[in-house]
Chain A
Amino acid sequence: MVRLTVNGKAHDIDVEPNTPLLWAIRENVGLTGTKYGCGVAQCGACTVHVDGVATRSCSFPVSAAVGKQITTIEGLAQSGALHRVQRAWIEHEVPQCGYCQSGMIMAVAELLKNKPKPTDADIDNTITNICRCGTFQQVRAAIHAAAAQA
């Protein structure tokens, strides 16, 4: 048994310690907003926050997450209010198919926490998630819009 704290709630789950955090979140905790895209930390669809740090959970063993605060896309909204990144995403209609956007939003939420007013270069250097629909033009506009709301 492994105890994980996800979105503020403790879960005792029966997995091998080397199971990727992604699959423990999806299959054992049962939260499927965090996506599988590559399994090798390339695409970023599986991004969650581990103690506030954006982490590609497909390549992060569940054993390393024990005792840490894990936040997934389902836990980003606070007391019923969407996070400003989520609001900006809706306003700018960022998603196309939407599959990569949970990870994209989690990566951007961390960027804005560290750099409240990111430049385009900050965005380029930090946001390396893959989106096959090609939503990047809207992603950039929405990041700046979310930053302006801070």
Chain B
Amino acid sequence: MNFVPKMNRRSFVIGSAAAGGGLAIGFDLPFGPKEAAAQTAAPELGVWVVIKPDDTVVIRMARSEMGQGTITGLAQLVAEELECDWSKVTYEYPTPGQNLARKRVWQSYSTGGSRGIRESHEYVRQGGASARMMLLQAAANEWKVSVEQCSAANSVITGPDGKRTTFGKVADAASKLPVPEKPKLKDPKDWKIAGKPIKRFGTEDKVTGKQVYGFDLKLPGMLNASIKESPVFGGKVKSFDAAKVSGMKGVKKVLQVGDTAVAVVADSWWQANTALEALPIVWDEGPNAKVSNATIAETLKAGLDAEQAFVGNQNGDIKAALTSAAKKVEAVYGYPYQNHVCMEPMNATARYTADKCEVWVPTQDGEASFAAVLAASGLPADKCEVYKLDLGGGFGRRGAFQDYVRQAVLIAKEMPGTPIKLLWSREEDMAQGRYHPVMQCKLVGAFDKDNNLTGLHMRLSGQSILASVRPQVLEQEKGRDPLAFQGVFQTGEHAFGYTVPNLLIDHAMRNPHVPPGFWRGVNINQNCIFLECFMDELALAAGQDALEFRRKLLGKHPRNLGVLNAVAERIGWGKPAPQGVHRGLAHMKAFNAYVAAAAEVSVTGNKVKVHRIVAATDPTYAVNPAQIDRQVAGSFVYGLSALFYQECTVKDGRMVELNFDTYNSMRIAQMPKVESIIMPAGGSGPWGGVGEPTICVAAPAVLNAYAAATGKRIRSFPLKNHNIELA
């Protein structure tokens, strides 16, 4: 599964992440010819740490911050090894152009797939440790003693005979020393900064309105743009009547952007958007103008029994097991398109001249943004730059997909020298998503006469994200999309946890015209619902308790069992629930973390109250428990909003729901009490992610509790389509 980057003299491949599946997938960027200076000039101790004479510690960050706390966590890891005073720590983003010019010393910028910490902890800790060793050596040199006689703590270095200095005083000398390679790292048992619930960076600016998001950027002489792309995916602009709006107040330019979109540029965004809404546009809607939910569902349904399918997980002989079964259980589930709906809609600001193109953008992957700037501007890498801004939500929309960057650059090219801030309206954001893909699933379970589960066939039918986004992966995989099997794969970070003697999990790929994308949790969302709801259906058919049924199948996977047992114990599984309250369970391994949830719900008429969810996560190491706690609770809001409310309906080839009035999201009144159990197992294995894994267990735990309460099994979503409301 490991993707080996191809290298040649003129280009290299960036390991840009397809959000999970153990994949690193690339795109090409040419090298820039010049070394670029880092923002904070010196003294640089390796590439991750800069220490100023006043002892300020500046930690470089390649990953992006969108609320998940990764920047604080990574800084904790660097500071831990550096032995610096945490109160003196700040951070900065080296630009993607600098990274490229310095042969990618900061490595991956991709911030998706819950990989910010788990895939960079080792090299950033080494960066901190190397910097500490350089500082110690510099002090030892100055004192003419051996480095073994010196030690560092809290940004202070002490030596023999009461010698004492600070990091800031020796930083300049230290920066001239060689950078030690592969320094020894601390045992996590000795952590003092990492592993603690330290407060995150930036909160004060967020509560005072000072934080500058992409939407808030101001540049001298800047104009604002609003854009409309063909509402039918794959359609093109046929014509538009610019004269109708070009005289409107503030309007500076009406222009076509590529083949597919029209934009208005004006003094203010409100003026631009008002003119755009008044602009008559005729679309060539192309071949997809008749596609609807119903036609897509028919296509997927046919895949449920199709001969050809890609295998993701297999053992034993499922055909024989089904033929000889004493009892069979069968169910078909379906999952809809969903939009990310980041609170801050997509945006980018571009300034283009013949010899420079600069873009300011909230991005989950600065290097993907950079690649988009190169492609759209036509300029070489040393004439392009990207400045990252913190994100008003990302959730997977702002990483692999840089359509707004391309648009902003194309508009700016038409107005050289003028900075153009392109903001999408919420309606554009909903109409031009990169949607959680649609999937149906047929599950068949086989029992012997003693009610032992002897076989399981899980047939997925639906859309592949990678077929659209990274087709080169499918070429390597002989047509298969390995990401489709997240949570049910044979091995790796998304391995299936149950031991079933005869097993087949396969995927009939059916790709509608709607552009799919990585949506927080990606394919674990539907796979966990399919699998974990069906496990309850199987337990019911076998007359067994849902927890005991799972336990029997998890004997070989103690960490899966560990999180499941933890939530069962905390919720009081097997003991009486409060009057009218019913319970449900779910678990999965995802992004190398083991996660489980136990929900308590009550049902009154068509109203479901989710009272409480206990969640457990074992991500191997917990760098900041307070941030993990918030990610767990937040992931449940995202996941339960999707379960109850959210569907992007396709009609006439385009999306129907275009704002929160038809695409609802949970409010505080619906928020259950979330109790998180953070139970890192430690050890030398791979670290697990945090931002995504737990999202997948909320929905099946609630659905299983709903079935326990009502005897009704719901198998298609969102629940609003069944007239079920979240109370």
Contacts and interface: CB of A to CB of B under 8 A. Distances in A.
A130 B665 contact: yes
Given A20-B270, A31-B209, A89-B207, A127 B667 contact: yes
A133 interface: yes
Contacts of A134: 633-638, 666, 671
Interface string A104-133: 010000000000000000011101111111
Contact of B209 (A32, A89, A137): A32
A99 B213 contact: yes
A105 B207 contact: yes
B392 A98 contact: yes
B344 A124 contact: no
Contacts of B427: 39
Contacts of A31: 209
Contacts, number: 179
A137 B671 CA distance: 7
B606 interface: no
A37 B636 CA distance: 21
Nearest to B672: A137
Contacts of B216: 26, 32
Contact of B637 (A16, A93, A136): A136
Contacts of B637: 131-134, 136
A44 to B, nearest CB: 9
A140 B224 CA distance: 37
B interface majority secondary structure: loop
Contact of B671 (A27, A73, A140): A140
Interface centre among A43, A74, A140 (most CB of B within 10 A): A43
B491 interface: no
Contact of B667 (A33, A90, A129): A129
A43 B660 CA distance: 7
A42 B270 CA distance: 19
A77 B633 CA distance: 29
Contact of A95 (B207, B635, B671): B207
A77 B626 CA distance: 27
B313 interface: no
A65 interface: no
B649 interface: no
B658 to A, nearest CB: 10
Interface residues of B, number: 60
B633 A95 contact: no
Interface stretch (B96-104, B198-206, B453-461, B477-485): B198-206
Interface string B625-651: 010001001111110000000000000
B209 A42 contact: no
A49 interface: no
A135 B208 contact: no
Contacts of B425: 39
Interface string A32-51: 11111111101101000000
Contact of A101 (B66, B200, B207, B626): B207
Interface in A7-26: 15-16, 19-20, 23, 26
Interface centre among A23, A93, A129, A132 (most CB of B within 10 A): A132
Contact of A132 (B204, B218, B395, B633): B395
A132 B342 contact: yes
Nearest to A42: B660
Contact of B207 (A23, A39, A90, A127): A90
A interface majority secondary structure: loop
Contacts of A26: 216
Interface string B339-365: 001111100000000000000000000
A64 interface: no
A140 B215 CA distance: 28
A125 B634 contact: no
A150 to B, nearest CB: 18
B635 A98 contact: no
Contacts of A124: 667-669
A72 interface: yes
A109 B465 CA distance: 43
A90 to B, nearest CB: 5
Contacts of B204: 90
Given A43-B343, A98-B392, A123-B668, A135 B634 contact: yes
A37 B270 contact: no
Given A40-B660, A89-B203, A136-B637, A19 B393 contact: no
26 contacts: A32-B215, A35-B344, A40-B426, A40-B659, A42-B659, A76-B208, A90-B203, A95-B67, A95-B207, A97-B343, A98-B203, A98-B392, A99-B342, A99-B392, A99-B393, A105-B207, A128-B667, A131-B343, A132-B341, A132-B343, A132-B638, A133-B637, A134-B634, A134-B666, A136-B637, A136-B667
Given A32-B216, A76-B208, A95-B67, 18 more contacts: A26-B216, A27-B224, A27-B269, A33-B208, A35-B343, A35-B344, A36-B215, A72-B209, A89-B207, A93-B200, A95-B206, A98-B202, A99-B342, A123-B668, A128-B667, A131-B637, A132-B343, A138-B633
